[in-house]
Chain A
Amino acid sequence: MNVIPMKPDEFESDQEVRWCPGCGDYAILKAVRGVLADIGRSPHEVVFVSGIGCAARLPYYLTTYGFHTIHGRAPAVATGVKLANPSLDVWVIGGDGDMLSIGGNHTLHVLRRNVDLNILLFNNAIYGLTKGQYSPTSPVGTRSPSTPGGSVEAPVNAALFALGAGGKFVARGADTLQKHLPQVLRRAHDHKGASFVEILQNCIVYNDGAFGAINDRSESHNATIRLEHGKPMVFGKDEDKGLVFDERVLKFEVVNLADVPRDRLCVHDETSLDRAFALARLEQPRFPVALGVLYAALAPEFVETRKAMKKPGTWDRASLKALF
């Protein structure tokens, strides 16, 4: 591996970025470039594979190898890339429609297989590129061109889905949190296996403010909790609130630190699947939304395990004759 200090602009391609002004994707792109520079692998050793949608345009704006594929199938294409060349650093980019609707099946299977990919799901709870229809993560009642009276379907919780699919690394970030998001992305990169990051992203045109205070930088600390492994679960602008965990019912409760001593707070253990499920379910306004690494556990990686089970072998005319 080729690790040399790099600058984010070394990952900036010559293509003009075509997202709407003010789109949350700009912030995510910036965070991605920063993390790639921080990781330090040369652009030619990195591949971005994307599906279809606004988010999926991201590979064009990087100097790495990029493959903008078809709607929903990026996890499957990326699996093939990794099968052919496991030494590449492969990232998968898609939106909520791409990865949870048309490509939900592939997201499920890439996670359970544990292919060593960094999967970034830009969740804006709307179909942007097709002009604003409700998406699988839109809350009930979302008014959109296809649901003028409001949507009636229950939304899917992306992080919960990833955990349910057997994902071994599940994290959450938000577009505007430019200090926090790169840390999450770096952790995702460093994890061996399928790393799933849900990034809450604002669509300024069709779903502005969908995440309320979560990605409003001034309000975010009250609406979210930034998880850190081994640290007590404290949140709030003034760090005045915390979470306690009731092991009997596997549920969290919000407490005021004025009422409850700090040592009663739940200490984040990112290897606990039970807590990860409970964390993924925390929703506004009753709870802070859990950000950071919800769950991280080591498990055999797909491509490596395959290779260990069955050596690819050598191939030449002698081996072919033997097969005949």
Chain B
Amino acid sequence: MTTVLDTTTRQPNRPLVVRFAGDSGDGIQLAGYEFARSTAEAGADFMTFPDYPAEIRAPAGTTFGVSAFQIQFGSGEVLTPGDEADVLIAFNPAALKTNLQYLRPGGLLVVDETHFDARGLKKAGIAASPLEDGSLNRYQVVTVAITKRALEALASLDLGRKFASRARNFWALGLVYWLFGRDMAPTVALLERKFANDPEVLGANLLALKAGYAHGETVEIPRYEELARPRKKLQGAKGRIISGTQAMALGIAAIPVLSQREVIYCSYPITPASALLHTLARYSNGVSTFQAEDEIAAASAAIGASYGGALGMTASSGPGLALKTEALGLAVMAELPLVVIDVQRAGPSTGMPTKPEQSDLTMAIHGRHGEAPLPVFAPATPEDCFWIMIEAARTAIEAMTPVIVLSDAYLANAASDWTPPDVDKLADITLAPVSGPDAFQAYARDGTTLARQWVLPGTKGLAHRIGGIEKQAGSGHISYDPANHAEMVRLRAEKIARIADRRPAIELESGADDADILVIGWGSTYGAIQQAVRELNDEGKRAAHVHLRQLWPLPKGLGELLERYPRSITAEMNSGQLASILRSEFLKPVGHISNITGQPFRVRDLKSAIAARIEA
């Protein structure tokens, strides 16, 4: 038995990173999710990252069918899923081959050796078994015949090999629970609920879970119990785990309550946005879903729903947003509220559908025909997905405009601890009163917001016609008058610009007013940038972090921040789109750190890139 912990590289309170990797049919995501739930129950802070392939069930044992789930947890604040794993659980040769790169040197590798035979190695495209050729010498390796042991454990149930081997994820989970001194009770409770009507499956999974745990006790393998268990429960920890998708769905569910307008969510299936459609489809209470025939119809139906008196919403990913752009032009012209969610993925075209990227920013801000400005927001964390939806709806209704919310594949799937907000303290979304029929004008505007009235068909005396043709200011009648068009273009832009006046000025997330560099982030990179900047400051390198949740109109106070610091750079999962926008808006030499790998930023990479800029 090797030394349990290499204390040379670990500090006692440093969070731990665990990564599960196996076939996409192995139940990796379920095992990972259960581990996250148990982490939440234990009161630790955490962040998870599912890393799964686009193929539904690629041939078992192949590298392109490998699905992984990573979680970082600890007793302090955890902002990212972690750069590299302290523990990797690999279910087959392909999972080992593709995921070993994420395990830190000296880390613990738990391998299911069952499939390291000639056939298994061939499927993974490996010549010699890494378990025997010394290539794993840098790691603490524990080989366990997980599948074999799971089958043995279930032998008494007479289930058949294929069926029984499906329970191996719970066997492995049991082992991991032992490894980290976790309580199995929440998982047992979940299984009992989930398979209440299927005693056979329930029995198999429970048996496997307990057998895995017992195996840990019987064989000598390193245990992380002492260090992994938080000293005390985090204050306010509710033991609730929430992904960006779930938070977004709950935020959407809050909108009818706050606005008294039904939400009609119109969408066409696309990865990774569909998960939101599935979540909302189960809701009632003021939220309904409509699966349209295509992306354009989804946007069009959402516009129709808003025109009809609900708040129309549509969601997609990059290729779908591209298809919706003409409809967005109509929503801008018709000045109707609409919320559009783009769960960004690596593009262009089909790109990498399950991998995150922030490459739709310029499309969201500028990507329409004609001059069609609209607000663009981006949530920073899974929890923030809840708040951003309420803000987007509020802005859409207050300013009578479509709003784009830029999430991404990472944020949608990443999960963290969540404390539900106090529902009674959520502020209402107030609707502007509608005038009477005397001298009614469809395009009369509020003096402050410049919004026109939201008059619903069915309202007596106010029947009017709207559409995509340019309007006469005020009356809303068709107008091709040159001066009127100029005025309307200016009014539409000014209406959006004024949204920034009503929203808070931007503030630093961390760092000093006289730091050497300002790092500007937006969206899902929040955790990685925040962690990197904090660590840099701890090491005496002076960086400050500002994070944009409001990409358009740019938030108040941003120009002053850019003036204040001698250097400023963005860190984005694209080739510098925000930097380009900031340069053109503020005429400042804003640099950028880009990550175009389809993977979230690693804190280590960010730190070295920022440090290099400070020294440059």
Are A320 and B257 touching (Cβ within 8 A)?
A: yes
Q: In the assembly, what is the distance between CA of A214 and CA of B256, in Å?
A: 52
Q: Of the 9-residue stretches A67-75, A121-129, A196-204, A254-262, which lies at the interface with chain B?
A: A67-75
Indicate if A63 sits at the interface (CB-CB under 8 A).
Answer: yes
CB distance from B297 to the nearest CB of A (A): 4
Are B254 and A44 touching (Cβ within 8 A)?
A: no
Name the A residues within 8 Å of B327 (CB-CB).
70, 73
Indicate if A266 sits at the interface (CB-CB under 8 A).
Answer: no
Are A85 and B309 touching (Cβ within 8 A)?
A: yes
Name the A residues within 8 Å of B308 (CB-CB).
47, 80-85, 88
Name the A residues within 8 Å of B499 (CB-CB).
none
Indicate if A45 sits at the interface (CB-CB under 8 A).
Answer: yes
Are B457 and A314 touching (Cβ within 8 A)?
A: no
Given contacts A76-B300, A106-B293, A315-B256, contact A81 B467 (CB under 8 A): no
Indicate if A109 sits at the interface (CB-CB under 8 A).
Answer: yes
Are B257 and A315 touching (Cβ within 8 A)?
A: yes
- Chain B 388-429 near chain A by CB (<8 Å), digits 1 or 0: 000000000000000000000000000000001001101000
Name the B residues within 8 Å of A77 (CB-CB).
300-301, 303-304, 307
CB distance from A97 to the nearest CB of B (A): 16
A79 CB contact (under 8 Å) in B301, B334, B469 = B301
Indicate if A321 sits at the interface (CB-CB under 8 A).
Answer: yes
Q: Which range contains the number of A residues in contact with the other chain?
A: 35 or more
Are B423 and A69 touching (Cβ within 8 A)?
A: no
Given contacts A69-B467, A83-B264, contact A44 B461 (CB under 8 A): yes
When C-beta atoms are compared, the residue in chain B nearest to A324 turns out to be B420
CB distance from A161 to the nearest CB of B (A): 15
Chain B, range 442-458, C-beta contacts under 8 Å to A: 456-458
Indicate if A286 sits at the interface (CB-CB under 8 A).
Answer: no
Indicate if A173 sits at the interface (CB-CB under 8 A).
Answer: no
- Chain B 585-608 near chain A by CB (<8 Å), digits 1 or 0: 000000000000000000000000
Indicate if A130 sits at the interface (CB-CB under 8 A).
Answer: no
B253 CB contact (under 8 Å) in A13, A106, A323 = A323
Given contacts A83-B305, A319-B285, A320-B253, contact A44 B423 (CB under 8 A): no
Given contacts A60-B465, A312-B262, contact A76 B292 (CB under 8 A): yes
CB distance from B467 to the nearest CB of A (A): 3
Name the B residues within 8 Å of A73 (CB-CB).
296-297, 300, 327
Q: In the assembly, what is the distance between CA of A87 and CA of B457, in Å?
A: 10
Are B303 and A45 touching (Cβ within 8 A)?
A: no
Are B286 and A313 touching (Cβ within 8 A)?
A: yes
Q: Which of A78, A83, A108 has the most CB of B within 10 A?
A: A83
Indicate if B128 sits at the interface (CB-CB under 8 A).
Answer: no
Chain A, range 211-245, C-beta contacts under 8 Å to B: none
- Chain A 129-170 near chain B by CB (<8 Å), digits 1 or 0: 000000000000000000000000000000000000000000
Q: In the assembly, what is the distance between CA of A319 and CA of B456, in Å?
A: 26
Name the B residues within 8 Å of A49 (CB-CB).
304
CB distance from B260 to the nearest CB of A (A): 8
Q: In the assembly, what is the distance between CA of A69 and CA of B254, in Å?
A: 30
Indicate if B284 sits at the interface (CB-CB under 8 A).
Answer: yes
When C-beta atoms are compared, the residue in chain A nearest to B310 turns out to be A84
Name the B residues within 8 Å of A64 (CB-CB).
463
Are B468 and A68 touching (Cβ within 8 A)?
A: yes
Indicate if B34 sits at the interface (CB-CB under 8 A).
Answer: no
Chain A, range 273-324, C-beta contacts under 8 Å to B: 306, 310-317, 319-321, 323-324
Q: In the assembly, what is the distance between CA of A62 and CA of B463, in Å?
A: 10
Name the B residues within 8 Å of A50 (CB-CB).
467
Indicate if B509 sits at the interface (CB-CB under 8 A).
Answer: no
Are B285 and A80 touching (Cβ within 8 A)?
A: no
Are A84 and B253 touching (Cβ within 8 A)?
A: no
A80 CB contact (under 8 Å) in B303, B424, B464, B467 = B303
Indicate if B571 sits at the interface (CB-CB under 8 A).
Answer: no
Given contacts A65-B464, A77-B303, contact A15 B477 (CB under 8 A): yes
- Chain B 224-261 near chain A by CB (<8 Å), digits 1 or 0: 00000000000000000000000000100110110000
Are A45 and B465 touching (Cβ within 8 A)?
A: no
Indicate if A66 sits at the interface (CB-CB under 8 A).
Answer: yes
Name the B residues within 8 Å of A178 (CB-CB).
none
Q: Which of B250, B423, B468 has the most CB of A within 10 A?
A: B423
Q: In the assembly, what is the distance between CA of A319 and CA of B601, in Å?
A: 38
Q: In the assembly, what is the distance between CA of A78 and CA of B334, in Å?
A: 15
Q: In the assembly, what is the distance between CA of A87 and CA of B459, in Å?
A: 12
Name the B residues within 8 Å of A70 (CB-CB).
300, 326-327, 329-330, 468
CB distance from B430 to the nearest CB of A (A): 16
Are B423 and A324 touching (Cβ within 8 A)?
A: yes
Name the B residues within 8 Å of A324 (CB-CB).
250, 420, 423
Name the B residues within 8 Å of A209 (CB-CB).
none
Are B297 and A106 touching (Cβ within 8 A)?
A: yes
Indicate if B192 sits at the interface (CB-CB under 8 A).
Answer: no
Indicate if A101 sits at the interface (CB-CB under 8 A).
Answer: no
Indicate if A8 sits at the interface (CB-CB under 8 A).
Answer: no
- Chain B 255-291 near chain A by CB (<8 Å), digits 1 or 0: 0110000101010000000000000000111101010
Q: Add 5 more A-B contacts to A69-B300, A85-B458 (CB < 8 A).
A: A44-B461, A69-B330, A69-B467, A109-B293, A324-B420
Return the 7 tightest CB-CB contacts between A and B, nearest first: A80-B304, A68-B467, A84-B308, A315-B286, A66-B465, A80-B301, A76-B300
Q: What would be 19 A-B contacts, judged by CB atoms less than 8 Å apart?
A: A42-B460, A44-B460, A49-B304, A63-B463, A65-B458, A69-B467, A69-B468, A73-B300, A76-B301, A78-B304, A80-B300, A83-B288, A83-B290, A84-B264, A106-B297, A106-B300, A109-B293, A312-B262, A314-B285
